[in-house]
Amino acid sequence: MVYPVALIRCDPETGEPIRNDQGLCERCEPGEVGQFVGRIVEKDPIREFDGYSNKEATQKKIITDVFAKGDRAYASGDLLYMDDYGYLYFRDRTGDTFRWKGENVSTTEVESIISKEASLTDCVVYAVEIPGNEGKAGMVAIEDADGRLDLTELLVRLKLNLPGYAIPVLVRVVRKLETTSTLKLPKNQLQKEAFDISVVKDPVYLLDKKQTTYTRLDTQLYNDLRNGKISL
């Protein structure tokens, strides 16, 4: 290795490394998306990792038994892929964060603020791909059983409590958010359906570029969005 970094195979949702029969991590092949990790070397000012004040958060960032028993690496949380020449390209973030407008967005933080400001039962924040845009845009499915949700008022409140890049670009209003058998909200299914109005029967709204209003997606607006004709 010229540099003490590598891309390892992992679960794209959790970031957990995929290991071989020896219990070690596996390097990604060119074109294969994996997590970017950096080797930790104690007492080396460049390669040492001192961690955070929160010990639990520190442990989540350290992977052991990476390419040899006992070695350690820092898990960046970034998913990248490498071409045949060794150049790296950003693809996504793992777990409860995603990257939009060059910034990392915490889905749990946005969910907490939306639930508080909208006084709703449940909401789920996730990231979706929009053609022509780097990274992934934030989308939220909000439960609104009795039709009380006022998106204009919600947007005003979100602008007071969130940076612009963290405000959801798309909003899906549902009557009921179904939970799984383990009482978890179905984020993966929502993310898969994204904003495809041919699949999603709930109303879906798009935030305009100036962040002044949410407009409901119709066929024309959806097609423009899918074809990269709308600047976000």
Whichever domain contains 23, its CATH number is: 2.30.38.10
Answer yes or no: is 148 within a domain. Answer: yes
pLDDT at residue 182 above 50? Answer: no
- Decide if 120 contacts 143 (C-beta within 8 A): yes
Task: Give the mean model confidence (pLDDT) for residues 167-182.
Answer: 81
In this structure, are 20 and 113 located in the same domain?
no
Residue 31 structural domain: 5-93
Whichever domain contains 114, its CATH number is: 3.30.300.30
Q: Mean of the per-residue pLDDT values for the chain? A: 86
Domain-ending residue, one of 93, 128, 155: 93
Task: Give the mean model confidence (pLDDT) for residues 167-181.
Answer: 84
**Could you report how far apart the first and last alpha carbons of the chain are, in Å?**
39
> Rounded to whole angstroms, how far apart are CA atoms 190 and 48?
39
Domain-ending residue, one of 59, 93, 127: 93
Q: Which long-range contacts (CB under 8 A, 24 or more apart) does 179-187 make?
A: 185/122, 185/124, 186/124, 187/124, 187/126
Beta-bridge partners for 64: 72
pLDDT at residue 107 above 60? Answer: yes
Domain-ending residue, one of 76, 93, 110: 93
> Rounded to whole angstroms, how far apart are CA atoms 26 and 209?
42
pLDDT at residue 183 above 50? Answer: no
